Chains A and B, each alone.
Chain A
Amino acid sequence: MSSRAEIRAEADRLFAAFQAAGAAPVEADILQPAETLLDLYGEDIRARAYVTQDPLRGEMMLRPDFTVPVVQAHMAHGADPARYCYLGEVFRKQDHPGRQASEYLQVGFEVFDRTAPEAADAEVFALFSSLLAPCNLRPATGDIGILMAAVRGLGTTERRRAALLRHIWRPARFRALLDRFSGRAPVAPARAELLARLASDKAEALIAAAGPMTGLRSGAEIAARAASLLEDAQTPPLAAPEAALLYDLLSLQAPAGAALAHLRGITAMLPAIAPAVDRFAARLDALEARGIDTASLPFEASHGRSTLEYYDGFVFSFESAVKGPPVASGGRYDALTAVLGQGRSIPAVGGVIRPALVAGLKGAAT
């Protein structure tokens, strides 16, 4: 265990390095409006963030991360392009005693730049890689943009593509949907019964027969979904080769150079991913130019797909041999800037380091 002073010194060292790399230091309130975070992450964030009540502002959360307030500040009055860094505590509720810290320092670096996203990805990763070099960590990288492009290009209905995209960060749900849409999972008996009942009469008649109507959800909304269920039941399953490619993509795990060759190989059969694969290639070139060996850099197409995330392109983390959270993690979150920017957006990439873990590894090494 490192002392607080050692952790603070490590945090200051990293913060200074981010400033030396051209980032402007920014501050963020510890008390954040709960509503913004809940709308973004959904109810799951309640299990992870400390919620408290402000007599005037309503429900507030102790800052669970810096990304949201930093993006908000940038969208409100930021220069373009901009590089920011920050240092401060974040708070995460832990449901299991003694395993993980519920309050710890984060040092972060974020790049908002429209000109060359792949170069910015490489800049962030290379900076983290050099700062963390003394810790001997295992890097992991991924690219959620390739998976999203593959889903957007699927030869099926817009409704099915939207359902898959909505659950792209919930791997189990995504998998269940894919199994259903590809015909690998049989139609559940409950669903078959429901379809038979919906097909037996007009939705309005079924609703009237079901009993008194209660609640905000209107008859029109119910009828619309009933119609879409019947329509979906008529939708043919994904073509087998296309489905197979998507399953292949979900499990793709290889050194980045080899992964690129593999993706190039399947692009002919999955042309929708071509632009995303081109971006992946450009990123590898940019990483090489910064001295990262992409022939050995680990790549997983599904890396970074977990709830409470918002990455939609390049993702990375640095893990130690010790069991626990990654020492550093980050990625690209272009869509988040659109959500928080009220109509405006800017390509953005960044990451955070946990100085307590860095100090612990350095302390163990000496």
Chain B
Amino acid sequence: MTLKIGVPSKGRLMEKTFEWFGARGVIMARSGSDREYAGAVDGIEGVELVLLSAGEIPRELAAGRIHLGVTGSDLVRDKLADWSSQVAELAPLGFGHADLVLAVPVSWVDVETVDDLDAAAAAFRRAHGFRLRIATKYHRLVREFLTAQGVADYQLVDSQGATEGTVKNLTAEAIADITSSGETLRANHLKILSDGMMHQSQAVLFAARAADWQPETRRALDTLYSMLAIDARF
């Protein structure tokens, strides 16, 4: 039985992951044609590369269909209930940095903090007859943050892309999304709340608690621990 490691199947996240492992002697590469989602691992025995969409890696980890997986810490926290009971964080990889933030129109000169947003939401509901809409795809993370902060009179509306445009399109009053430079937010006349940082995300190597950990996959994991200089154990 081989140890299956799930890695994002394309883009910068895949390249950076290959680089990170490669620098530590675990050589990952796509095999076959450019379009074929197949990969190979050199430099270590008994490890199999599984190329997956980054968004599906949390689910595959939770199901135990892969032993290890590289994906954003934001995706794991948002997609998995009680995430730390399902997966273990083995190592932050130091790339794929992005912040999950709350943003409102720049014209809201009266709103700088989550506390202001809460008060604005109360007034908005009175004036418009419905709860202030926050567009996001990170439903669990955003709701847990706002519940912990005691914010009321808001609703989350689903937005799977171009979230920054929802305010201009009048389908939301505020947004919660990831940003690395804040440029898209500024271009859409939005500003970040000063205490609205919900999660600082980066790519992380996770281990699946539900995976079938046989003696041989454990041995491969031990080899990886030493090659990758990982101190964490699960």
Q: List residues of A whose CB falls within 8 A of some B CB.
A: 38-39, 42-44, 46-47, 95-97, 163, 166-167, 170, 172-174, 176, 188, 190-191, 193-194, 197-198, 203, 206-207, 210-217, 219, 221-222, 224-226, 229, 307
Contact = CB atoms under 8 A, between A and B. Distances in A.
B149 A214 contact: no
Contacts of B108: 217, 222
A229 B85 CA distance: 44
Contacts of A212: 106-107, 189
Contacts of B119: 163, 225
Contact of B173 (A44, A47, A166, A215): A215
B53 interface: no
Interface hub of B107, B124, B151, B152 (most chain A Cβ within 10 A): B107
A172 B150 contact: yes
B77 to A, nearest CB: 12
Contacts of A206: 109
Nearest to A211: B106
B146 interface: yes
Nearest to B127: A221
B194 A167 contact: no
A42 B124 CA distance: 14
Contacts of B189: 211-212, 214
B99 interface: no
Contact of A214 (B140, B144, B168): B168
A173 B149 contact: yes
Interface stretch (B19-27, B37-45, B110-118, B197-205): B110-118
A174 B123 CA distance: 18
Given A215-B168, A216-B170, A225-B123, A191 B113 contact: yes
A313 B168 CA distance: 43
Contacts of B112: 190-191, 193-194
A222 B113 contact: no
Given A166-B122, A170-B152, A222 B170 contact: no
A353 to B, nearest CB: 28
B143 interface: yes
A222 B109 contact: yes
A43 B156 contact: yes
Q: Which A-B residue pairs are the 7 nearest by beta carbons?
A: A173-B150, A170-B150, A211-B106, A225-B110, A226-B110, A95-B81, A215-B167
Contacts of B173: 215-217
A214 B188 contact: yes
B164 to A, nearest CB: 10
A190 B109 contact: no
Residue from B85, B110, B155 whose CB has the most chain A CB atoms within 10 Å? B110
Interface in B152-178: 152-156, 167-168, 170, 172-173
A140 B155 CA distance: 33
Given A190-B112, A215-B170, A225-B119, A44 B107 contact: no
A174 B149 CA distance: 11
B107 A211 contact: yes
Contacts of A190: 112-113, 194-195
A47 B147 contact: yes
Give the residue among A166, A176, A193, A217 with the most B Cβ atoms within 10 A: A217
A42 B106 CA distance: 26
B143 to A, nearest CB: 6
B143 A217 contact: no
Q: Which of B118, B120, B149, B152 has the most CB of A within 10 A?
A: B152
Contacts of A96: 81-82, 85
A207 B168 CA distance: 16
Nearest to A204: B109
A206 B167 CA distance: 20
